[in-house]
């Protein structure tokens, strides 16, 4: 007659396989509970925070340079603070595609061109997609100039994890509206 004692699950699996199955189950439960493992997003929130901080620094540096508030001798440091890759693809609001190195050359020649009151700021920042070594962002860029309508652009940008930190490798700007001094908004 058959014994009425039940067998443990580990007795149904060959030696060692039980531990592998248990490990996979635990990993699956942790994945469900906590989402994407941080290693898949290069330190998770730290990578996203670095990209977002870099985005603000990019616009602050751009504002300082184009307004002339930044010393003309400091362009190399300004460019490094902007963290744009020389091979980056930038699609301007006009639809023209340029590289990061072309942007660098153009900006270097434009020191102070926008006037002392110029500043640009990113708003409505949204993290759209997370990839293993990059993050896709969208934001609204406001360009403020004294005595000119505020230029408002919708921007999509790719921030990548590089050997020396974050870098921007793709930007696509679309002009969406102008806002005059009276607050009235005109579409594109």
The DSSP 8-state label assigned to residue 41 in this structure reads G
Report helix angle 45-67 to 100-109, nearest 10: 30
If one compares 38 and 77, the residue with the highest pLDDT of the two is: 77
Is it the case that residue 51 has pLDDT exceeding 60? Answer: yes
Higher model confidence: residue 35 or residue 139?
Answer: 139
Q: Judge whether residue 49 has pLDDT over 90.
A: yes
The pLDDT score that the predictor gives to residue 91 is 94
Q: What is the mean pLDDT of residues 174-187?
A: 63
pLDDT confidence of residue 112 = 87
Q: What is the model's pLDDT at position 15?
A: 52
Please tell me the predicted confidence (pLDDT) of residue 42.
Answer: 42
Q: Which tops the pLDDT comparison, 125 or 65? A: 125
What is the residue-wise DSSP string for 9-24?
GGGTS-TTHHHHHHHH
Does 16 have pLDDT greater than 70?
no
Neighbours of 59 (CB within 10 A): 19
Average pLDDT value over all residues in the chain: 77
> Under DSSP, is residue 137 helix (H, G, I), strand (E, B) or coil?
strand
- Residue in the block written with tokens 């926008």: 114
Distance in angstroms (rounded) separating the CA atoms of residues 134 and 159? 5
Q: Poorest-confidence range of 5-14, 87-96, 124-133, 175-184?
A: 5-14
Read off the pLDDT band of 34 (50, 70, 90).
very low
Q: Quick one: pLDDT at residue 75?
A: 76
Does residue 33 sit in helix, strand or coil? helix
Q: Quick one: pLDDT at residue 136?
A: 97
Q: Which two tokens stand for residue 53?
A: 């901080």
Bridge partner list, 159:
135, 168
pTM above 0.95, yes or no: no
**Among all chains, which residue has been given the structure tokens 């590089």?**
162
* Radius of gyration, alpha carbons of the chain: 25
Which is more confidently placed, 125 or 10?
Answer: 125
């Amino acid at each position: 007659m058959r014994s009425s004692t039940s067998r443990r699950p580990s007795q149904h699996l060959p030696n060692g396989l039980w531990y592998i199955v248990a490990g996979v189950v635990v990993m699956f439960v942790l994945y469900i509970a906590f989402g994407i493992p941080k290693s898949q997003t290069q330190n998770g929130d730290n990578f996203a925070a670095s990209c977002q901080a870099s985005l603000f620094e990019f616009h602050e540096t751009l504002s300082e340079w184009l307004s002339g508030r930044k010393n003309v001798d400091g362009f190399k440091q300004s460019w490094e603070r902007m963290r744009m890759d020389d091979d980056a693809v930038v699609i301007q609001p006009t639809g023209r595609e340029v590289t990061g190195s072309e942007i660098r050359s153009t900006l270097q020649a434009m020191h102070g061109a926008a006037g002392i009151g110029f500043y640009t700021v990113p708003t409505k920042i949204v993290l759209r997609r997370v990839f293993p070594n990059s993050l896709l962002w969208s934001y609204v860029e406001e360009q403020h100039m004294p005595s000119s309508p505020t230029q408002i652009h919708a921007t999509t940008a790719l921030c990548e994890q590089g050997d020396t930190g974050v870098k921007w490798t793709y930007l696509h700007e679309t002009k969406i509206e102008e806002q005059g001094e009276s607050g009235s908004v005109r579409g594109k």
